[in-house]
Amino acid sequence: MPGTLIAVLIILFIGIIALIVNTNLFKMIMALTIIESAILLFAVSGSYIEGGGAPLANLSDNMVNPLPQALTLTAIVIGAATTAIALSLVIKIYRHTNSVSSDDLTRLKG
């Protein structure tokens, strides 16, 4: 777990820095996806049991909890759909303003 926790923190740090530094909307969405991946890695690694088996294949007492894995798969599907919608909105913004910079969004008035 400590090695995985270090990897989670590094990936999370990369995503947060990319989100703060970039003004390009595409890059900001990808940074949010990186942050989501770090959180999902943390959720799956938290359910790991040393020497544990799959709940269906192993009937012993030392089984891995399947709930975090199921929730992670659900979060991946929801994240992919959310990312697709966000990218389509960025394409709409680009067609309207000819720019994907978040600084140019202040020109949009409804």
**Is the pLDDT assigned to residue 105 strictly greater than 90?**
no
Q: Which fold has domain 2-50+63-101?
A: Helix Hairpins (1.10.287)
**Is the pLDDT assigned to residue 58 strictly greater than 60?**
no
How many CB atoms sit inside 10 A of residue 87's CB?
A: 14
69, with CB counted inside 10 A (0-12, 13-18, 19+), is middle
How many CB atoms sit inside 10 A of residue 8's CB?
A: 20
CA distance 46 to 8: 11
Higher pLDDT, 46 or 78: 78
How many CB atoms sit inside 10 A of residue 72's CB?
A: 17
pTM of structure:
0.84
The H or E element that residue 23 is part of is none
Q: What is the pLDDT of residues 63-86, one digit of tens each?
A: 777 888 889 999 999 999 999 999
